[in-house]
Amino acid sequence: MNTALQYDTEHDTEHDSEHDSERLPLAGIRVVEFTHMVMGPTCGMILADLGAEVIKVEPPGGDKTRNLPGLGIGFFRAFNRNKKSVVLDITTDEGRAAAVELVSQCDVLLENFRPGLMQKLGLDYETLSAKHPRLIYVSHKGFLPGPYENRLALDEVVQMMGGLSYMTGPKGRPLRAGTSVNDIMGGMFGAIGVLAALRERDSTGRGQEIQSALFENCVFLASQHMQQFAMTGEVPPPMPSRVSAWSVYDVFTLAGGEQLFIGAVSDKQFVTLCKVLEHPELTQRPEYADNASRVAVRPRLLEELGVILKGHDPAELAPKLEAAGIPYAPIMRPDQLLDDPHLQASGGLVPMQVDDGSTAPTVLLPLLMGGRRPGVRRPLPKAGEHNAEFFPQSSGTPGQA
């Protein structure tokens, strides 16, 4: 092994186990991550949360995502926990050589650079797999191979192309979803591909190239509406213009201006809702006799319920709806979720030491494994924090003067 990369696998596994009482499913799997923004980092974070050792390669000065303003300010903290960080200048011969040596010690490589860049740098799958046939190589792209494959894509771009924006906004006003749904799900599908490829490698001894793409991901999200058209021949209307299958399935404004979503998706639930609202007489009207009849006069019903609900205090009504088994939901802002009692009680929101030494909350993966949530095992890394661990013979950043 090249002396530029000295690494003790057993020691690192022990180090991680200090923070985790039980061995995680991907312990012993090593991942090198050439990613930025959301999609690639999400894939790496999922693998890291499941126990893989993920080494994030950052450019000199650190990943630019660390210092994004505005809506991007939370990207790095949200999607880069449980990772180690090394800084390499892969635009230089020395930096690329160090990167290749690092790859040789890894099971999985993640990247989400623009099309053609990794090939230009000699870090593409074809080049690396020739020497390392067990390598699993994951490319996070805008598009899978085809006419669009060389286009640059953003979550916004594929939401417009993939039917999601059309279905989300009012007619004639396509609307981007309020979070990076395709970037995050693209990273999830990349991680799913890694898990399958690791399983296949156990039997074949060989790795493979995996591609996860934003556009195809978004089309998958819209597939139910595509099937709807294929089955009916009718173009599905945007969600705000939809003809609801249920008579009561909407957002209502209660006392004090607070809003509540309420859904009554069966005749039994409608009767129960009317009792909770202390207006059982509504159930006696012929036009409200069953769901189909109520859907036919839905605007009138919603107006009538709206008047009734304006007189209800949401703090008093919510527990009554819950006790009666009526689906409901307050309209929450993301900042309010930091104090959500369920998130706190279920262990889904935990403190993490971040790169400036302070502590901030982080949202864990939405799953239980053996009755526990995969948690935070290490502080968020500083840029290049682990260079000395992997490049002990180098006095600074390999490839940088």
Tens of pLDDT, residue by residue over 159-211, are 999 999 999 999 999 999 999 999 999 999 999 999 999 999 999 999 999 99
Sheet architecture: strand order including 248-253 = 248-253, 259-264, 328-330
Whether residue 12 lies in the annotated active site: no
Q: Which of 16, 63, 155, 183 is catalytic?
A: 183
At 219-269, the pLDDT tens digits run: 999 999 999 999 999 999 998 887 788 899 999 999 999 999 999 999 999
Cβ–Cβ under 8 Å, residues 333 and 259: no
* Predicted local distance difference test score (pLDDT) of residue 343: 94
Amino acid at residue number 258 = E
Cβ–Cβ under 8 Å, residues 194 and 204: no
Span 22-30, average pLDDT: 91
Span 49-70, average pLDDT: 96
Give the pLDDT band (50/70/90) at residue 2.
Answer: very low
CA-based angle 167:168:169, to the nearest 5?
105
Q: What is the pTM of this model?
A: 0.90
Span 89-94, average pLDDT: 95
Cβ–Cβ under 8 Å, residues 65 and 72: yes
For residue 230, give every residue at least 6 positions away whose Cβ sits within 8 Å of its Cβ, in sequence order, or none.
none
Q: How crowded is residue 200: how many other Cβ atoms within 10 Å of its Cβ?
A: 14
Span 150-166, average pLDDT: 94
Give the pLDDT band (50/70/90) at residue 401.
Answer: low
Give me the numbers of helices (H) and strands (E) for the chain, helices first please: 18, 11
* Predicted local distance difference test score (pLDDT) of residue 14: 37
At residue 15, does pLDDT exceed 80?
no
Cα–Cα distance between 188 and 256 in angstroms, integer? 40
- Work out the mean pLDDT of the chain and round it to a whole number: 91
List the alpha helices (DSSP H) in 253-340: 267-276, 291-296, 298-309, 314-324, 334-337
Three-state DSSP at 320 gives helix
- Rounded to whole angstroms, what are the CA distances from 173 to 176, 181, 366? 10, 19, 32
- Rounded to whole angstroms, what are the CA distances from 302 to 16, 71, 286, 309? 55, 35, 16, 10
Span 61-80, average pLDDT: 94
Span 289-294, average pLDDT: 93
Domains and CATH numbers, the chain: 9-221+344-390 (3.40.50.10540), 244-333 (3.30.1540.10)
- Rounded to whole angstroms, what are the CA distances from 342 to 104, 345, 348, 349, 365? 44, 5, 8, 9, 15
C-alpha distance across the termini of the chain, in Å: 25
